[in-house]
């Protein structure tokens, strides 16, 4: 079978974990090849994992699920040329990306913008000034489609005729939060929506944390506006640091809890975003 079907079968088969995915990819490598029973039997796998993989390859119950997925969305596997090379290099790259929209955006320069779900007007003011500059530099703006800063970043990008990618923490068949349903639909039409989760996977808190590593892996730069010191935005920043990405932070008043995150990042070495200074650093 081809590599795409193989990856979908691994995703659908119960008992095959993300850890197993990593092990299999390490053994198979990234070259284009047919996945056969003989090939799997030649790999140095535990008997338990080998049994699970062979069962997934033979499991006729998965055929309808695979057909339905391929009808609903685009599927990009870690073996594909379109899979972003910088994402492949992170510690735990997703085996599969499920997508709707313009796939070519994955090949362009990407800047991620993240911040608080409950920002003040300061974040919107900064992003209204900043996003047109990024668009003029041919940057694709990516974020996580959450309420707050994420939504502002996507909306401002679309309003300025820019390109945007939303990485979501649930399957493509869910709108979360519901308040962003229209925005998600617009991004699907004018930009790109991607997820590592099967299309019918519901949103759960731990999935948004997992999603953050994909945001960090896709990009060249991460910009953090208002964010508390312990927040998903800082998790994204830490993933980005591990992946050797450029980290930018918007400084704020020390009296605000929403300045704790970006100010701490600046103290740790992130580039502060100062007026008319960002473009010289990108």
| Tens-digit pLDDT profile for residues 86-111 | 999 898 999 999 999 999 999 999 99
Rounded to 5 degrees, φ, ψ at 250 are -90, 110
Question: What's the pTM value of the predicted model, to 2 decimals?
Answer: 0.94
181 and 141 together in one domain: yes
190 and 262 together in one domain: yes
> Does the structure show a pLDDT above 70 at 36?
yes
What's the number of CA atoms in the CB half-sphere (13 Å) around residue 9? 20
Q: Distance between CA 65 and CA 102 in Å, rounded?
A: 24
> Does the structure show a pLDDT above 80 at 271?
yes
Q: Residue 183: which residues within 8 A CB-CB, separation 6 or more? A: 145, 151, 154, 155
114 and 47 together in one domain: no
Question: Of the given ranges (47-61, 82-96, 220-234, 264-278), which has the lowest mean pLDDT?
Answer: 264-278
| Tens-digit pLDDT profile for residues 119-174 | 999 999 999 999 999 999 999 999 999 999 999 999 999 999 999 999 999 999 99
65 and 108 together in one domain: no
Q: 23 lies in which domain range?
A: 3-72
DSSP secondary structure letter of residue 201 = P
Whether the Cβ atoms of residue 250 and residue 225 lie closer than 8 Å to each other: yes
DSSP secondary structure letter of residue 203 = P
195 membership: H or E segment, kind and range: strand 192-195
Q: How high is the pLDDT of residue 31?
A: 87
108 and 214 together in one domain: yes
Report the mean per-residue pLDDT for the chain: 94
């Amino acid at each position: 079978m081809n590599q795409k079907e193989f990856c979908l079968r691994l995703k659908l088969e119960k008992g095959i974990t993300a850890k197993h995915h990593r092990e299999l990819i390490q053994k198979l490598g990234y070259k284009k090849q047919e996945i056969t029973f003989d090939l799997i039997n030649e790999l140095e796998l535990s008997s338990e994992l080998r049994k699970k993989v062979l069962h997934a390859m033979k499991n006729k119950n998965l055929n309808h699920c695979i057909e339905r997925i391929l009808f609903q969305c685009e599927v990009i596997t870690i073996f594909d040329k379109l899979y972003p090379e910088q994402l492949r290099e992170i510690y735990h790259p997703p085996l599969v990306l499920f997508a709707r929209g313009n796939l070519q955006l994955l090949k362009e320069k990407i800047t991620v913008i993240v911040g608080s779900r409950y920002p003040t007007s300061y974040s919107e003011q900064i992003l209204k000034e900043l996003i047109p500059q990024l668009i003029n530099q041919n940057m694709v703006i990516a974020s996580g489609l959450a309420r707050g800063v994420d939504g502002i970043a996507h909306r401002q990008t679309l309003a300025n005729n820019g390109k945007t990618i939303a990485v979501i923490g649930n399957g493509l068949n869910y709108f979360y939060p519901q308040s962003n349903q229209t925005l998600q639909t617009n991004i699907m039409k004018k930009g790109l929506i991607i997820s590592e989760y099967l299309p019918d996977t519901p949103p759960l808190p731990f999935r948004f944390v997992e999603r953050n590593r994909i945001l960090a892996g896709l990009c060249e730069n991460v910009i953090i506006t208002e964010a508390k010191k312990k927040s998903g935005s800082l998790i994204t920043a830490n993933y980005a640091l591990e992946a050797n990405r450029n980290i930018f932070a918007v400084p704020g008043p020390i009296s605000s809890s929403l300045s704790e995150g970006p100010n701490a990042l600046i103290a740790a070495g992130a580039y502060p975003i100062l007026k008319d200074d960002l473009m010289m650093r990108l």
